Structure formats: structure tokens, C-alpha cells
Amino acid sequence: MEEVIVRAEELCKTFPLSRKQRRLEKTTAKKKVAVDGLSFTAKRGEIYGLLGPNGAGKTTTLRMLSTLLEPDSGDATVLGHSIRKEKAAVRDCLGFMTSELKLEKFFTPDYLFDFFGTMHGMEKDRIAERKRELFSRFGVNSFAGVKVGDLSTGMLQKVSLVIAIVHDPDVVVFDEPTNGLDVLTARVVTDFLEELRAMGKSIILSTHIFSLVEKLCDRVGIIIDGRMAAEGALGELCGELSLEERFFKIYRDLKGDIL
């Protein structure tokens, strides 16, 4: 039986709405439900995709898994560590990459790699070893001494990636991993995700790009309005349909028209 690495159970998250937000969203509700009783599991050596439109609750779910947000109710475990009670342990076995987490423009990739290695409690030798391995794998060596502020988008994405996994985590969480990347860098990232899977890591990614899910994910969960609308292995979930056709069928069944 495959080992379950991440187990989310009945995760719920709401955000208070300010008066201005209520006016903009034309609602009288004082809270917005971002995630509503979401449960799923990710196993060792698989890529699990969270697919859904903007505002579905994908990023909130990933933020809860990475302990940046506290669920209102429900819990999730990462390698058996609760995201509510053992935050530091979760952070040490999880790498989180999202465009919202930025790197200081003043520093070089070389310096930041050492800094974040230290923040994860790694020894100097281990940091140096990981740096050699990852910088060479992603071609960061050529710009390791250039300030982050002077890097191109592709270079920056590579640096963010290597820093997110500096501590060699068992679980890697990616929020929209190929957004804004050129085709070459996007390919480097997708190849690396497959490589991580081959190494037995569990990867959870959120995306709204169907082709990316079809290319990479072993299993997929479709989230609509914070709820798990459908889940399963790609073949089981789609049947005769393509993922895109299946997604829109589920969406129409739940919400009616697309617009």
C-alpha cells in the first residue's frame, strides 16, 4: 500500500469581509468561505494537482498546508505532523513555492541559499553540498553572484525554486509553478517536478492549466467554491473525456453557466 504523506481532513477557512469588500462583491455576508470542508491525500512519489478557477480556494489550501494560514476547522498532517500543532516540524519537511513569497532584491542567490539553509537549521557542509547539486541542476551558477533585483523572470523563478527546496523536503508544494515563465524555464520546472517524483517526493501543485495537470499529475482534485467537486486518478476522473471537457461538465453541473 502506498504511503500517505499529506492528509487533509475537512479543512475550512473563512476570511472576514470589510464593508468595502461586501459592497464590491454585492453581498451582505460578513465572511467569505474560501475553503469549505476540503479533504484529500497525497502519497509518496506522486504529483497531486489541485485544479480550479481563480478564487476556488487552491492558494488558501496550499497556504494552510504550509502553515502560513491557520484553518478555522479541520486539520492536515504532513508526514504525520499536524499543521495546527507542529508548525515548525511541518515547515522543515515541506518546501513551498509561490509567486507571493518574494526574495530580497539586494541579495545574491548565493547568499540567499545559505541564509535559507541556515533558517531551516542545516549545517554549513550540507548547505554547500545542496548548493552545488541544485545550482548545477538548474544552471544557477552563472548568475549566483548577481543581485536578485538584476535577474530576469526565468532566472528568478529558478532561484526561488532552488531556495524553496534547499532543505531537501519530502513534500513540495507549488502554487502555479509555471506562471509567467518562458517555455524553456517552464520545461526545466516540469522536468524537475518529474525528477522529484522519481526521487519519492510528494508534490502538490495548484494550477488552472489543464495541459499541465494532464502532463504531470498522477491524481487530481477539482476545487470549485472551496469544495472538492471531484477527485481521482486522471484516467478514472476523465473517462472518455479530456480533462478540460470533464472540468467544464462538473462546473456546469454545479454552477450552471460559465459566466
Interface residue list for another protein (CB under 8 A): 15, 18, 21, 63, 66-70, 88-89, 91-92, 96, 100-107, 111, 115-116, 118-121
CB of 101 to another protein, least distance (A): 4
CB of 223 to another protein, least distance (A): 20
Q: How far is the CB of 117 from another protein (least distance, A)?
A: 9
Tell me whether residue 63 or residue 131 sits nearer to another protein (CB atom): 63
Of residues 71 and 246, the one with the C-beta less far from another protein: 71
Rounded to the nearest 10 degrees, the angle between the axes of helix 153-164 and helix 183-198 is 10
Choice between 169 and 217, CB closer to another protein = 169
Task: Kindly tell me which of 167 and 219 has the beta carbon lying closer to another protein.
Answer: 167
Of all helices (H) and strands (E), which one includes residue 88?
A: helix 87-92
Closest approach of another protein to the CB of residue 164, in Å: 8
Q: What distance in Å separates the CA atoms of residue 210 and residue 193, rounded to the nearest whole number?
A: 16
Reference 238, options 210, 207, 209; nearest CA is 210
